[in-house]
Chains A and B, each alone.
Chain A
Amino acid sequence: MREVLVLVDHVDGAVSKPTTELLTIARRLGEPAAVFIGSAEDADDTALKTLKTFGAEKIYTVEDADFRQFLVAPKAEVLAQLVQQVSPVAVLVASGAEGKEIAGRLAIKTGSGLITDAVDVQGDGDSAVTTQSVFAGSYTVRAKVTTGTSIITVKPNAATPEQAEGAGAQQAVQVEISEGAKGARITASEPRRSSGRPDLSEAAIVVAGGRGTGGKFESIEEFADALGGAVGASRAVVDAGWYPHSYQIGQTGKTVSPQLYIAAGISGAIQHRAGMQTSKTIVAINKDEEAPLFELVDFGVVGDLHSVLPAATEEVNKRKG
């Protein structure tokens, strides 16, 4: 069976949930082979075991000491060299900002077609058929790559991670990184402080606040915590400086597709809808009964979020007992 390369997304060795989703998807297409780029300390037993548990038959490890300080381009060279060596049926990369850049470069390097932001990938004979959600979620597109290796970036929550013990045969790979790939040097890096809440892109429940919060996010955060969800914000909130940009949902922020999306004080412009329209269940709370977002909701409350949310938080905590 031909290999399916999965680029492992990790922070200091902690393998991300989307990577386990990619491994699950890879099994539909061929033999999952994880590509772990990082230091020897990062590729520790815990990291390797996670990859194995979710079905990696092979794990290629690539020491990045020589190129860690350069942005994106070296990682695309690593993958291009592996593609040449093993002729995989597909390369799967998580759909983050970096993942998409890596995939774009890889497509050019290997003369391959590229599909981004797949929300589903299925095997069909020799090819991988993807499903994408486009035009602010108003259309569904099915597509496949027809030239070269299928290079696909996959959105978080595109599959439920399923465990399936793989052989996990580890193989260290030596790569030559060209000087040309070393033109964008990272001279400083400040890790983002963790909020202690689930990651926004991956969360099952998201509670988001908009202009209607007036900048007061306590009730949003407390309701999110009662439900075990992540906190998000509309662009208006971020532009006003009320909440950091990394929490922005919408066309120019994150696209989320959780089981439950609760929008408080968000009217629902098309750019915002683009970031949340594929959520399974949508709830809105807004003083304005004409808010366009109410057209999309499974449940809505016309009222002041500053009184509804604290009362609802209390109610949820009571029922959780």
Chain B
Amino acid sequence: MNIVVCVKYVPDATADRHFESDSTVDREGVDGLLSELDEYPVEQALRIKEQQDDEVQVTVLTVGPDDASDAIRKALQMGADKGVHVSDEAIAGSDSIGTSLVLAEAIKKLEHDLVMCGMASTDGSMGVLPAMLAERLGLPALTLASEVEYDAGRVRIRRDGDTATQTVEGTTPVLVSVTDQSGEARYPSFKGIMAAKKKPVETWTLSDIGVSEDQVGLSTAWSQVMATEPRPPRTQGEVVADEDGSGATKLADFLASRKFI
């Protein structure tokens, strides 16, 4: 059985993230890492691998600049078997439409019974990529799983929606996206870190997956950013100490002054 996990290399959310002059995200001036939300599908893939008697191969797939190989390395350290890094200058500035095309074409070249994704990235955080991938690959999609069960080609998930908790089922080949509620991701062990050094990572260009340069990149994006502006910083208002219970009265005064009472 083969599992492909799609992961993204993102700017560190705790760093000062900003835009370049062409309105793309600065991915080089800021330290990056494996998106925290993509550790969860890696974890779920590894748990399925550990539960199966048959051999399960977990391949980590990423699209991004050279540094994005860091994201693959982290997943290999956690226990994934091999990595594929699609890297091509022409991809820079692609929107989710272009990125989903690159991922889909790469996945088509890989054996895949299960395709797994996180719920969203921590930078763009549109949360649409799993649905777009499923659409492009023609796979059923079990999305936003907070629990994943796999048994002999059948996948069952729990999906906690806004109005109901659902059980959703499908059969392989199938795409599954998982939330941060699906189970804590493991830390790489020392053994895992050492073993990762010997695991194979392939680097593919656009021509390797049969995508032409004019299908991706900033200039062919289907939506256009017209302007980016830093939001004016909030100015700190009054902060009072609660002495002898005065805090509650002052809080009520404030709420009344803003007409909330």
Report which A residues bind B (CB closer than 8 A).
11, 71-73, 76, 96-98, 100-105, 107-109, 111-117, 129, 133-148, 180, 183-192, 201, 205, 227, 245-246, 251-252, 259-260, 270-271, 274, 281-283, 285, 289, 294-304, 307-309, 311-312, 314-316, 319-320
Contacts and interface: CB of A to CB of B under 8 A. Distances in A.
Interface of B: 13-14, 17-19, 23, 37, 95-97, 100, 119-120, 122-132, 134-136, 138-144, 146, 156, 159-171, 174, 179-181, 221-231, 234, 236-242, 245, 247-252, 254-256, 258, 260-261
A252 B222 CA distance: 27
B164 A185 contact: no
A116 B128 contact: yes
Contacts of A112: 222
Judged by DSSP, the binding face of A is: mixed
B222 A289 contact: no
A103 to B, nearest CB: 7
B161 A184 contact: no
B239 A301 contact: yes
B222 A319 contact: no
A314 B261 CA distance: 12
Contacts of B160: 245-246
A72 B131 contact: yes
B239 A319 contact: no
A101 B131 contact: yes
Contacts of A73: 134, 140-141
Contacts of B222: 107, 111-114, 145-148
Given A107-B97, A135-B17, A251 B122 contact: yes
Contacts of B240: 299-302
A301 B226 contact: no
A189 B132 CA distance: 25
Contacts of B238: 299-300
Nearest to B250: A301
B156 to A, nearest CB: 8
B126 A116 contact: yes
12 contacts: A73-B134, A76-B131, A97-B144, A104-B126, A109-B135, A183-B171, A185-B169, A205-B260, A294-B236, A299-B238, A302-B240, A302-B242
